[in-house]
């Protein structure tokens, strides 16, 4: 069974290299038995906005992937993307720092808005897919883990929506998004997913409410990746219909087992609180002392989910290493094991925190 590999830290470039080395991706690409395979990197550049705002894939993370590939002898690399309707991909390439990457490593930037498309039939649905992506020998999907106003979350599966023409993006919305997103992932198999979970947006796909979590995830099964991502944001997989539909189409497996997640290190980075309106509004419910970023981020996302479910007041929750050995009412993470109620984990998922809050405050 495939795994989800997780690494914590604040150096995206080195984190990417460590993940790819742990998965021995060079060996996988070598198995393609092609003299010079075309490797396509598909980030999320939905808008022309720096990654620190929580919407776009960190250029440092992409830079680490390219360095790893070049170090292992793979030099036929292209970055392919199409921004959302109404935005300009070329502007996003520039504003998000990808033009610098292109110049440094001689890696072409392919604007899929200018690309030809071909039709692929999945069950009863015909989907037009950009030809350049289909022609790639090895596809690396590099989404951002963040919230979405229509589908609740966006990560691996939904990120492929940037591989279809704008006219098809409009049709996906008319079709309700979930079924076509799942079918698209059947039509366009991904070889590797690397998730930017460094600084994803709490509320919307276009950024502005970033929550620092300082983690990057990788795996070969996009359905499994999204199942884990849903838990990190406080959702059950059945709350994100395209995950279940993709599993039914045999795109991947959605079941998270006790040994599914492999953590390559422990989270030690201190929490950095982003000065966004939504995060600030939730801070009144958080008592934090020396909190690590991943644990703090999980709590922020959980409180957001709980606030959506309960219109009333949220409880006060403690988080951080400063509470180790102390007592209290409600805590999050192993450091609060002395509290009356606490969610174990280092870090716990938002889903686990939400379940505890729901059980205690029905």
* Predicted local distance difference test score (pLDDT) of residue 275: 56
| Whether the Cβ atoms of residue 61 and residue 216 lie closer than 8 Å to each other | yes
Residues 179 and 208 in one domain: yes
In-domain check, residue 27:
yes
- For residues 204 and 282, membership in a common domain is answered with no
Q: Do 218 and 281 fall within a single domain? A: no
Helix axis angle, 166-174 to 178-187, nearest 10°: 130
Is 268 among the domain residues?
no
**Residue 312: is its pLDDT beyond 80?**
no
113 in the same domain as 55: yes
User: How does strand 77-81 pair with strand 39-43?
Assistant: parallel
- What span, in angstroms and rounded, lies between the C-alpha atoms of 301 and 274? 13
Tens of pLDDT, residue by residue over 204-230, are 676 778 888 999 999 999 999 999 999
Please report which confidence band the pLDDT of residue 33 belongs to, taking 50, 70 and 90 as the band edges. confident
Please give the average per-residue pLDDT across 8-31, as a whole number: 97
Domain CATH number, residue 72: 3.40.50.11440
pLDDT reading at 113 higher than 90: yes
Among the ranges given (96-100, 112-116, 146-150, 273-277), the one the predictor scored with the smallest mean pLDDT: 273-277
- The SS3 call for residue 348 is coil
Crossing angle of helices 350-360 and 293-309, in 10° steps, is: 50
Within this chain, do residues 237 and 129 fall inside the same structural domain, yes or no? yes
Are 220 and 136 in a shared domain? yes
pLDDT 10s digits, 324-344: 999 999 999 999 999 999 999
| 216 and 298 belong to one structural domain | no
Cis bond before residue 347 (omega within 30° of 0)? yes
Query: Is residue 180 one of the residues assigned to a domain?
Result: yes
Residue ending a domain, choose from 263, 297, 321: 263
Bigger pLDDT: 243 vs 205: 243
Residue 23: alpha-carbon gap to chain centroid: 18
What pLDDT score does 206 carry?
66
Do 239 and 304 sit in the same domain of this protein? no
Is 200 inside a domain boundary? Answer: yes
Q: What is the mean pLDDT of residues 43-69?
A: 95
Inform me whether the pLDDT recorded for 268 exceeds 70.
yes
Return the minimum-mean-pLDDT range out of 16-30, 115-129, 271-285, 294-308: 271-285
Q: Are residues 132 and 195 in the same domain?
A: yes
CA–CA separation, 234 vs 229, rounded Å? Answer: 9
Q: How many domains does the chain have?
A: 2
> What percent of the chain is predicted at pLDDT more than 90?
72
Name which residue leads in pLDDT, 74 or 285. 74
Helices (H) and strands (E) in the chain, counts: 14, 16
In a domain, 204, yes or no: yes
Which of 238, 263, 288 corresponds to the end of one domain? 263
pLDDT confidence of residue 300: 85
Q: Compute the average pLDDT of residues 160-183.
A: 95
Distance CA 301, CA 352 (A): 11
Determine, yes or no, domain membership for 20.
yes
In-domain check, residue 272? no
Q: Which residue has the higher pLDDT, 185 or 348?
A: 185
pLDDT band at 283 (very low <50, low <70, confident <90, very high): confident
Q: Which domain holds residue 28?
A: 4-263
Distance CA 334, CA 340 (A): 13
Q: Token digits for 152? A: 């609740």
Average pLDDT taken over every residue of the chain: 92
- Is 269 within the bounds of a domain? no
- The mean pLDDT value for 6-11 works out to 96
User: Which residue from 6, 97, 10 is spatially nearest to 45, judged by alpha carbons?
Assistant: 97
- Looking at the chain, the whole-number percentage of residues with pLDDT higher than 70 is 96
Are residues 8 and 95 located together in one domain of the fold?
A: yes
192 and 234 in a common domain: yes
What is the model's pLDDT at position 151?
85
Domain end call among 206, 230, 263: 263
Q: Are residues 188 and 301 in the same domain?
A: no
Reported as a single tens digit per residue, the pLDDT across 120-166 is 999 999 999 999 999 999 999 999 999 877 888 999 999 999 999 99
């Amino acid at each position: 069974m495939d795994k989800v590999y997780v690494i914590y830290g604040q150096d995206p470039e080195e984190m990417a290299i460590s993940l790819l080395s742990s998965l021995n991706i060079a060996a996988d690409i070598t198995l393609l038995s092609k003299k010079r395979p075309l490797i396509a990197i598909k980030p999320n550049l939905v808008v022309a906005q720096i990654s620190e705002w929580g919407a776009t894939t960190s250029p440092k993370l992409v830079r680490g992937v390219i360095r790893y590939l070049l170090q292992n002898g793979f030099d036929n690399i292209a970055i392919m993307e199409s921004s959302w309707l109404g935005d300009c991909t070329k502007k996003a390439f520039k504003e998000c720092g990808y033009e610098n990457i292109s110049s440094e490593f001689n890696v072409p930037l392919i604007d899929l808005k200018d690309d030809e498309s071909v039709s692929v039939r999945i069950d009863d649905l015909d989907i037009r897919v950009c030809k350049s992506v289909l022609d790639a020998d090895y596809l690396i999907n590099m989404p951002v883990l963040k919230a979405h106003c229509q589908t609740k979350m966006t990560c691996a599966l939904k990120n492929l929506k940037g591989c279809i023409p704008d006219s098809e993006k409009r049709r996906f919305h008319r079709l309700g998004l979930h079924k076509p997103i799942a079918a698209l992932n059947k039509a366009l198999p991904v070889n590797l997913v690397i998730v930017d979970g460094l600084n994803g947006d709490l509320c919307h796909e276009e950024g502005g409410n970033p929550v620092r979590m300082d983690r990057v995830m990788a795996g070969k099964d996009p359905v499994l990746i999204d199942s884990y991502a849903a838990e990190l944001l406080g959702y059950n997989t059945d709350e994100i219909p395209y995950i279940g539909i993709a599993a039914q189409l045999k795109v991947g497996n959605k079941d998270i087992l006790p040994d599914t997640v492999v953590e390559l290190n422990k989270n030690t980075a201190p929490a950095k609180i982003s000065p966004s309106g939504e995060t600030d509004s939730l801070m009144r419910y958080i008592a934090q002392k020396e909190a690590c970023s991943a644990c703090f981020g999980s709590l922020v996302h959980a409180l957001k989910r709980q606030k959506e479910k309960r219109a009333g007041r949220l409880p006060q929750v403690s988080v951080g290493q400063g509470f180790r050995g102390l007592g209290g009412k409600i805590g999050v993470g192993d450091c609060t094991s002395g509290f009356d109620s606490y969610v174990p984990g280092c870090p716990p998922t938002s889903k686990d925190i939400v379940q505890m809050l729901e059980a205690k405050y029905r």
